[in-house]
Chain A
């Protein structure tokens, strides 16, 4: 079969099915459907989504809410409970350890190190900065 014959065959394909189509009825049905539901609103689109999509969206929302809550809880926990124990822990340090700590505080900062003010005393440090210093002392 050559290309021309193939094209002829393709032109016949589907012709019987198309002839059986009731065009007037189709036109009427299309216009009626357009009239009944002219535009699908966003709310309707959401309600038309498959169930699995809704479940997935709910899971994502719950995970996001959980992550936000956890972040808030951690930051509040650090602010309220992190300062005093760190500061109180200083009294347990030996003289050598305190000396090392002061050296670190006085050392000029670089990009990789935490940004402590060069002239800051221990009292000026925040609970978070003190905690980092203690962690660096512990090795």
Chain B
């Protein structure tokens, strides 16, 4: 009879956070590996320029690890991380307005895939990105947390410091306005 290999238990985010607070650097690195891409997607959707994405992801993790004592488990670590990312992006946008950096459009910056296909796909995405840029910050973050990351209104509300009902209203306002842009 074949002997089943014991499966190593995957540590939870909470366990990794506790380990990091105890000085375990590999635990911090593992949390970055788990959540970096989701964070990058959120930041890119919310308007982060490609060229700054790596820096913004790093900065978000640095802030999160330094302020991890304030994380009380009111939502998932990833959700909390995304809201910190929103703050980091807002600060970066404020600095960028002072330095007046002109970002290239996505179609010019992207270098992978078929150019025509990329252009067609990029058109709708570009309109959505533009629409997102015109929403209020709360509407934008609620929409992305719900539509892109599939979170429930209760968790979104806990992360953004609002009520589930208000989060629902923000989401529907966002959808209504985005439909006008993308249509």
Contact = CB atoms under 8 A, between A and B. Distances in A.
A13 B54 contact: no
Nearest to B27: A31
Contact of A9 (B25, B61, B125): B125
Given A27-B29, A34-B28, A34-B62, A17 B40 contact: yes
Interface stretch (B7-15, B72-80, B143-151, B152-160): B143-151
B124 A29 contact: no
A35 B44 contact: no
B177 to A, nearest CB: 11
Given A11-B147, A14-B44, A33-B58, A6 B37 contact: no
Contacts of B42: 14
B125 A13 contact: yes
B36 A10 contact: no
Contacts of A27: 28-30, 32-33, 36
Contact of A13 (B29, B50, B57, B129): B129
Would you call the interface of chain B mostly helix, strand, loop, or mixed? helix
A73 to B, nearest CB: 43
B175 A3 contact: yes
Interface in B50-66: 50, 53-54, 57-58, 61-62, 65-66
Given A1-B183, A12-B125, A18 B25 contact: no
Nearest to A17: B44
Interface in A1-39: 1, 3, 6-7, 9-31, 33-35, 39
Nearest to B42: A14
B128 A10 contact: yes
Which range holds the interface residue count of chain A? 20 to 34
Interface in A36-84: 39-40
A13 B37 contact: no
A9 B54 CA distance: 23
Nearest to B60: A30
Most buried by B among A28, A30, A31, A40: A30
B67 to A, nearest CB: 11
Nearest to A21: B40
A30 B179 contact: no
B92 interface: no
Interface of B: 25, 28-30, 32-33, 36-38, 40-45, 48, 50, 53-54, 57-58, 61-62, 65-66, 110, 112, 121, 124-125, 128-129, 143-144, 147-148, 175, 178-179, 182-183
Interface of A: 1, 3, 6-7, 9-31, 33-35, 39-40
